[in-house]
DNA sequence: AGAAATATTATGTGCAGACATATTATCTTT
DNA sequence: AAAGATAATATGTCTGCACATAATATTTCT
């Protein structure tokens, strides 16, 4: 225990984590109860509670009323994937961001979009494709459907000036969302747009959002070859 | 404000979120200070503080001392990617998990591993490849390097019975980790192992972990075609 | 006017004490 | 012995209060 220091919740957090890392407390072990730890570390129970609560949220501890607190046997590591607006992601790396609207049409959705987003086959939607550039090179190709029924204001937005995603972030916050990642091969058309060749491996991110049960948007984001998404854990 | 209900931090959280969603408070807006909200909602400031703190952690609010609390203009959505042990991921879907050790050799690392993990070129490492199966079908091919200098106990582990990852989770918790995702094409060898064809698009997950500055392991996890990683946001 | 010192203020955190709640352990009844 | 009722207990949360800290606003000095 690194004594002499001030006992705040952060130091309790670090001390408990240290004991886990040094295997003083092994996976599966029950750790002292809050009151004992508080006494041991010279602080209030509330302070210990705060620290242990954070550690549980981070996946290091399992806590249950009456049963006590144990070190996780399978620390489900939660990679905190920050999904920023593409523009900020690119600018954050010091590159120049570019954006071009390729297509914007008003039409009924494809059966696939209907099923995934849970909207009617006859609903009024905006179908948008656009290309995002980093330092003038193709970075991400976006195909998006936006429900005009749910977000009628979108028809007045100038989507050649601001990307649909950024517009939606500002004007249509969602209550529920889903995101998935996979690997696909570039088709002829996609390859042309991303300036690569058909059959190149592309990283695909699919996003859908709802406001309660009303579908807002479904997007298919295809990243140029070489893209890597990463995160600290 | 949905009155009549009990005022706990969760209900404050939900009420604030509701005001953001209904655009009563728009992105960029400053929201009432904690004392005011507490008075308004009939609870202690500490309770409001807890709610707002969570909302800030979730990315909905930006808070700064003295400056106050504002609704995020760019809610950096944090996808909470749970990275479970593969076995649990497969079993969780009700499929039968299978595991086979393909190779286990003690040797010096490749220059690439050295550079990424920050270990010496002459360090003693374990090089392991294995295949994970779901319902007897190839699911993920794993190539891994483990530093024997950092985790000497690994040489005594029976890695044909337990996967290296599971062993490490139980015996060598890390303090720092990095994970990245990308799309690659299957090589001849990889295709053979995963029972697909060369040039198939594969989802690649690369993981590295350290105990402070000592490299523990570097792993390259190649998922069979069709794999989708997904998450709620 | 511009710089430096000072005051103000909203959030951040700590504390003690109380009660709520989920879960386990124990006792009672059949 | 099995089932049901009851007690015990560790965590979960709320409260009121105090002081810390960072950032802004204001005043003072040159």
SS3 A173: coil
Tell me if B74 and A80 make a contact (CB, 8 A cut-off).
no
**Fold of the domain built from segment(s) B86-223:** Chorismate lyase (3.40.1410)
Asked whether the beta carbons of B95 and A97 are under 8 A apart, the reply is no
Asked whether the beta carbons of B216 and B150 are under 8 A apart, the reply is yes
Tell me if B231 and A75 make a contact (CB, 8 A cut-off).
no
CATH says A9-71 is which class? mainly alpha
Per-residue pLDDT of chain B (233 residues), as tens digits, is: 433 356 799 999 999 999 998 989 999 999 999 999 999 999 999 999 999 999 999 999 999 999 999 999 877 777 777 777 889 889 989 999 999 999 999 999 999 999 999 999 999 999 999 999 999 999 999 999 999 999 999 999 999 999 999 999 888 888 889 999 999 999 999 999 999 999 999 999 999 999 989 999 999 999 999 999 988 87
The domain locations on chain B are: 9-71, 86-223
Of B27, B183, B232, which has the smallest distance from its Cβ to A183's Cβ? B183
CA separation (Å) from A206 to A90, A99, A112, A117, A186?
A: 19, 19, 13, 12, 15
Output the six-digit token pair for B87: 């076995």
B174: CB within 7 A of chain D nucleic strand: no
A102: CB within 7 A of chain D nucleic strand: no
Distance CA B97, CA B66 (A): 54
Per-residue pLDDT of chain A (233 residues), as tens digits, is: 433 356 799 999 999 999 998 889 999 999 999 999 999 999 999 999 999 999 999 999 999 999 999 999 877 677 777 777 899 889 989 999 999 999 999 999 999 999 999 999 999 999 999 999 999 999 999 999 999 999 999 999 999 999 999 999 888 888 889 999 999 999 999 999 999 999 999 999 999 999 989 999 999 999 999 999 988 87
Distance CA B185, CA B198 (A): 7
Give φ, ψ of B203 to 5 degrees: -85, 125
Output the six-digit token pair for A10: 């952060």
How far does the CA of A215 sit from the C1' of D1, in Å?
Answer: 57
Residues of A in contact with B203 (CB under 8 A): 181-183
How far does the CA of A63 sit from the C1' of D3, in Å?
Answer: 29
A46: CB within 7 A of chain C nucleic strand: yes
Long-range CB contacts for residues B38-42, cutoff 8 Å, separation at least 24: B40/B1, B41/B1, B41/B7, B41/B11, B41/B12, B41/B15, B42/B7
A215 CB-near residues (< 8 Å, 6+ apart)? A117, A118, A119, A147, A150, A208, A209
Tell me if B233 and A177 make a contact (CB, 8 A cut-off).
yes
ipTM for the complex shown: 0.85
Taking each helix axis from N to C terminus, what angle separates B9-21 and B34-41, rounded to the nearest 10 degrees? Answer: 100
CA separation (Å) from A194 to A143, A164, A189, B171?
A: 13, 19, 9, 45
| Nucleotide nearest the Cα atom of A35 (by C1') | D10
Residues 63-102 of chain B with CB under 8 A from chain A are 73-85, 88
Instruction: Tell me the residue length of chain A.
Output: 233
Closest CA to B85 of B167, B206, B171, B172: B167
> Chain C positions under 7 Å from a protein CB?
8-18, 20-24
């Amino acid at each position: 225990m690194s004594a002499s220091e001030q006992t705040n919740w952060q130091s309790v957090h670090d001390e408990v984590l240290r004991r886990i890392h040094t295997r003083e407390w092994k996976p599966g072990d029950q750790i002292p109860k809050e009151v004992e730890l508080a006494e041991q570390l010279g602080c209030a129970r509330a302070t210990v509670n705060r620290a242990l609560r954070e550690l549980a949220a981070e996946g290091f501890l399992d806590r249950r009323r009456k049963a006590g607190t144990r070190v996780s046997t399978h620390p489900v590591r939660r990679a905190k994937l920050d999904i920023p607006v593409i523009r900020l992601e690119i600018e954050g790396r010091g590159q120049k961001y570019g954006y071009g609207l390729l297509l914007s049409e008003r039409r009924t959705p494809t059966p696939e979009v209907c099923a995934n987003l849970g909207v009617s086959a006859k609903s009024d939607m905006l179908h948008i494709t656009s290309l995002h550039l980093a330092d003038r090179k193709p970075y991400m190709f976006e195909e998006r459907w936006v429900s005009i029924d749910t977000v009628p204001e979108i028809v007045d937005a100038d989507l050649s000036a601001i990307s649909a995603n950024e517009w939606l972030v500002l004007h249509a916050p969602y209550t529920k969302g889903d995101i998935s990642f996979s690997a696909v091969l570039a088709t002829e058309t996609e390859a042309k747009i991303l300036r690569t060749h058909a059959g190149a491996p592309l990283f695909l991110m699919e996003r859908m959002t709802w406001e309660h049960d009303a579908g807002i948007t479904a997007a298919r984001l295809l990243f140029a070859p070489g893209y890597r998404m990463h995160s600290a854990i």
